[in-house]
Structure 1
Amino acid sequence: MTATKHVLLTLGRLNYGGAEKRLLALLEALKAAAAPLRFTIYVISGKPGVLDDRFAATGARIVMGRPGVRGLGHFHRTLKEDPVDIVHANTMMASGLYLAVAKAAGVPERYAHMRNTQAQGGLSRAVKDGVFGAALRRSATGVVGVAEATRAVTGLGPERFATIYNGLDIADTGPSRPSGPIKLLMLGRIAPAKAPLRAIPIVRAMVEAKVDMTLDVVGATDTPLAAELERRIAEEGLGDHVYLRGESDTPTMWFEGAHVSILLSRHEGLPGTVLEALSVGTPVVATDLPGVREIAVRTMGVTIMPDDASPERWSHAIVAAAGIGDAGRAEIAASFAKSPFVIERHMELMRLLWDQGFAAVKQRIEQER
């Protein structure tokens, strides 16, 4: 009988973020597969989140941590009180500190999961990332990235890095078939990195071109930037075209109802909204980012816009993407189902990592090339 391994995952807070949604889907799939793995979720912020109950429903134990450097002592005590076989950290470069503590606590396998293709800006952040990066390179058994481009953030060579693409569960309902005026979707946190204000001149260009359209903005509206976006919508007289819908726990419904999904972000890792859209056959028009390019060369349906693209050029690209029809959407969905971005492959590689270790994953990925 295979011994059950105890895996501890660190997360900031269990809300609707990309890492949290992808890990929840993975744990649900592993539970359905009866994998011999036991999970603890260590919530670094110590704050409850909207997904707490859903993570708990997978059988995972949730431990509320302590933020900041002082919380590292609490983390060490947690590892000692209920010893783990694997620590898998999901806190970008700060993962280095948690892996250093795990190493000191005698945890045999220690992984970091990188989910962005560039470090955050600012001198303070650069200094911190330098310290965290040094700890990461000394303490990690291996580093996993959601895209090949995330390796640049770590400063590691390819021998200590493995790309495991996020995976989605493919619906068996077939591609969506929206009708009526063009429905655009922008789904995600209304935060500076997502650059939601860039949508205003694009919508203005479409309205001036007499395109019959609406844009649904789906994301939490309790942020200063959301208030600024709402103000700009009113100033531009676009209230009949742009709607702030708030946060949703049923994102698939929004992607199925959209003719086109747009991504305006300044930086991303492997953008989950792009994958979610393509999985139901909805085309995507997106900014030129490394993670987006990795998706575009492995499945159909992505139009990449250069950094200097004008609002009018975005408008033309969106109208073209919206016009592909049911056959085009079916082709996108079929292409995605054969891509490396499906939950079965993601689960297989993550389970291999936790069952047999980093070298086994590296070997499997090399065999697939």
Structure 2
Amino acid sequence: MTRPLTVLHVFGVMDRAGAELLTVELLRHLSPDRYRFVFVTLTGRPGALAQEIRSLGGSVYPCRLDLGFPVRFFRLLRSLRPDVVHSCVATFSGAILLMARVAGVRRRVAHFHSTSDRHGVSLRGRFQRAVMRQLIDWFATDLVAVAEAAMTGLWRSDWRNERRCRVLYNGLDPAPFERAVVTTAATGSSCIAEGPAERSRTASDAAPGWQPVIVHIGRPDPVKNRAAAVDVLIALRRCGVPARLRVVGREDARESADLRRRAELGGVADAFDLTGESFDIPALLAGADLLLVTSRSEGLPTVVLEACAVGTPVLSVDLPGVLEIGRVLGGVTTVPQGSRVEIWGAAAAGMLTAPPTSAQRVRAFRAFAASPFVVEHWRRGMTSVWDQ
């Protein structure tokens, strides 16, 4: 019997975030007789997904990024002897793939999940980025990005001229989103058949007492800019829209206190909830009227795909990855980066004239299921990289 192909993934930590969750989802769709997943985390912490990974047959090795890291990581590579090292740590992948090459790993993949790294624009940051890109150039056998914008941002604009480069859109399992849409259609009051009158509804047509639900989903990281979502709620309330905001994701005590204080000062404390992590994002989004994306940087934001899959409108800053999704799927509205909060508020108010209908959600799901953003498309693409 042929032994499974061992794929060693490198992440910061296996917490509940877009790329990490999607990689675990991919593990569910692969035969353990064909692929074995190993995760190395550079924070030295396994992360909230570690138990689930182990239950699916994978392994997690915390390997803290400090002065002793190179020796520990090299020894781990020599011990595990992976067939593939798949690095998901932006341009730092250059250092990871250098060590993989020294350890004799045949397939070495740099996978870009965002349009920028954390080196910044200082002279030191630019130097570090240049060195890491050179190492990627020398030691990567394959370069994969979640979006064209991610490949251009972290690699270079002429990437299409390189055989090693390919864009593979993140893929979601359609089943939970179909269930969420069907459940919403079964319990909601909207009609499946939609006519011209329904398409032209205004706020006055909405159910009496309708209170729009806005969600923001993301971890407590400055790049997610969760405070901006509270500012949008304040602007909406000032426009007379009786919306509620749910900020979903892992909490940080200091940031949570700041967000609550911001809501109190803006007079919207009674319409603001910090709900912590959710384990049923499809149902959460299917029960919402608008998704806000206020991030400063993203690759191909999973949460936008999830909202599109259940027909929940998206209002986002005009990040390249979001625009890429919007070209394929409907329901995405963007505002320019740096826009005043009043512009966000006006845009949101225009989108919250009535809740999405069951018919709209069903059509949105069908468009998503036929798109390149499904897990089967992603599975075929990723395994073709590893199997070469």
Instruction: Give me the TM-score of the superposition, normalised by structure 2.
Output: 0.86
The CA RMSD over aligned residues, in Å, is: 2.0
In structure 2, the partner of 1:353 is 385
2:54 maps to a residue whose letter is A
Instruction: Return the alpha-carbon distance in structure 2 between the equivalents of residues 269 and 279 of structure 1.
Output: 18
Partners of 1:264 and 1:286 within 8 A in 2? yes
Closer/same/farther in 2, CA of residues 66 and 119 from structure 1, 3 Å limit: closer
Asked if the contact 1:283/1:329 (under 8 Å) is kept, the reply is: no
Aligned residues with identical type, % of pairs: 33
Q: CA deviation at 1:17?
A: 1.7
Q: What amino acid maps onto 1:157 in structure 2?
A: W
**Paired residue for 1:112?**
110
The alpha carbon displacement at 1:209 in A equals: 2.0
Distance in 2, matches of 1:189 and 1:125, equals 24
In the TM superposition, residue 317 of structure 1 has moved relative to its aligned partner by: 3.0
Q: 2:126 corresponds to which residue? A: 126
**Residue matched to 1:37:** 35
1:61 aligns with 2:91: no
1-structure distance, mates of 2:234, 2:336:
19
- Over 3 Å counting, the alpha-carbon distance change for 1:190 and 1:65 in structure 2 is closer
Tell me how far apart the structure 2 counterparts of residues 59 and 229 of structure 1 sit (CA, whole Å).
Answer: 39
Distance 1:102 1:128 in 2: 19
Aligned counterpart in structure 1 of residue 179 of structure 2, from 165, 173, 184? 173
Query: Is this contact kept in 2: 1:192–1:225, CA < 8 A?
Result: no
Question: Which aligned pairs between 1:321-340 and structure 2 lie closer than 5 A?
Answer: 321-322=351-352, 323=354, 324-340=356-372
Gaps of 5+ in 1: 358-369
What is the alpha-carbon distance in structure 2 between the residues aligned to residue 15 and residue 269 of structure 1? Answer: 18
Deviations 1:100-125 (A, max 9, x none): 00101111110011011123324243
1:188 has 2:218 as partner = yes
- Deviation of 1:3 after TM superposition, in Å, equals 5.0
Q: 1:233 aligns with which of 254, 263, 266?
A: 263
Q: Which residue of 1 aligns with 2:149?
A: 149
Q: Distance in 2 between matches of 1:101 and 1:240?
A: 53
* Aligned equivalents of 2:14, 2:235: Cα separation in 1: 38
Counterparts of 2:329 and 2:348 in 1: how far apart (Å)? Answer: 18
Q: Residues 236 and 348 of structure 2 are in contact (CA less than 8 Å); yes or no, is this contact kept in structure 1?
A: no
Per the alignment, residue 282 of structure 1 pairs with 312
Q: Distance in 2 between matches of 1:265 and 1:219?
A: 14
Paired residue secondary structure (1:14): coil
Q: What is residue 362 of structure 1 aligned with on the other side?
A: none
Provide the residue aligned with 1:78 in structure 2: 76
Paired with 1:45 and 1:311, the residues of 2 have a C-alpha distance of: 35
Q: Does 1:199 align with 2:201?
A: no
| CA shift for structure 1 position 320 | 3.9
Partner of 1:162: 166
Match of 1:140 in 2: 140
Matched, 1:23 2:23: yes
Residue of 241, 244, 267 corresponding to 1:214: 244
Distance (whole Å) between structure 2 residues aligned to residue 230 and residue 122 of structure 1: 32
Q: Is contact 2:230-2:245 (8 Å) kept?
A: no
**Distance across 2 between alignment mates of 1:27 and 1:82:** 18
Amino acid at match of 2:179: T
CA positional deviation for 1:211: 1.2
Corresponding position of 2:91: 93
Counterpart of 1:11? 11
Q: Count the aligned residue pairs.
A: 354
Secondary structure at the counterpart of residue 70 of structure 2: helix
Once residues 64 and 343 of structure 2 are traced to their aligned partners in structure 1, the CA distance between those partners, rounded to angstroms, is 47
> Equivalent residue for 2:49?
51
Aligned-partner residue type, residue 17 of structure 1: A
Quote how far apart the aligned CAs of 1:308 are: 4.9
> How much does 1:190 deviate?
2.6
| Whole-Å separation in 2 of the counterparts to 1:227 and 1:190 | 12
2:192 corresponding residue in structure 1: none
Separation of aligned partners in 2, 1:88 and 1:336: 27
Matching residue's letter, 1:46: G
**Residue 168 of structure 1: CA displacement?**
0.7
TM-score between the two structures when normalised by the length of structure 1: 0.90
CA contact (8 A) 2:239 2:349 kept: no
Deviation at 1:145, TM superposition (A): 0.4
Which of 60-69 and 342-351 deviates more? Answer: 60-69
Name the amino acid aligned to 1:339.
Answer: S
